[in-house]
A = this chain, B = another copy of it.
């Protein structure tokens, strides 16, 4: 097993356990066991548990980003671009429930809060496309003139909730429902 493969094995084990059991339901020893390595080995790849978690998040962002943007075309209408991105995100979450659950754990923790703060205040690049889309929409009087934070909430809040319900088995989302849900988000931010 190569160095990179082992790092990934550990990361995968950690993400899975954290997604299923939360941060304190995933002791380092358990992660090690699931990854098939010794407890001390983790520390060759991740300085400590906090750093492991943060790197897990970064990896995840990097994995998700291209997937969501795949097929995104600047020349499309704002509406189509919005629908594309939002449904891509919803689909990704549904297909990768562990990733989704990890993100939820992450956001609901000191890690996530710190990260979010950086994101909003420091305007991290990954939001740019959404921000840009919203701004463009506002300028064209297509999107409601509300603070970006609220437009975000209207767009993603339902996605998160609906994904959670899907994962928990409260509903079975199919292509039609996904499209309808995303379209409803569009209705929320437009008039």
Binding site for B on A (CB under 8 A): 21-25, 104-105, 108-110, 113, 116-117, 120, 144, 146-147, 149-150, 152-154, 156-162, 165, 168-171, 177, 180-181, 184-185, 187-191
Contact = CB atoms under 8 A, between A and B. Distances in A.
A71 B146 CA distance: 28
A158 B116 CA distance: 17
Tell me whether chain A's interface is mostly helix, strand or loop, or mixed: helix
Given A162-B157, A168-B117, A181 B150 contact: yes
- Assembly of this chain: how many copies? 4
Given A153-B158, A154-B185, A165-B153, A21 B110 contact: yes
10 contacts: A120-B169, A120-B170, A144-B180, A149-B165, A150-B162, A150-B181, A156-B161, A157-B159, A158-B188, A187-B188
Given A116-B168, A149-B170, A110 B158 contact: no
Contacts of A171: 147, 149-150
A178 to B, nearest CB: 10
Contacts of A190: 187
Query: Which of A104, A110, A150 counts the most B-chain CB atoms under 10 A from its CB?
Result: A150
A180 B153 CA distance: 12
A188 B177 contact: no
Contacts of A149: 162, 165, 170-171
B180 A184 contact: no
A90 to B, nearest CB: 11
A177 B151 CA distance: 11
B105 A144 contact: no
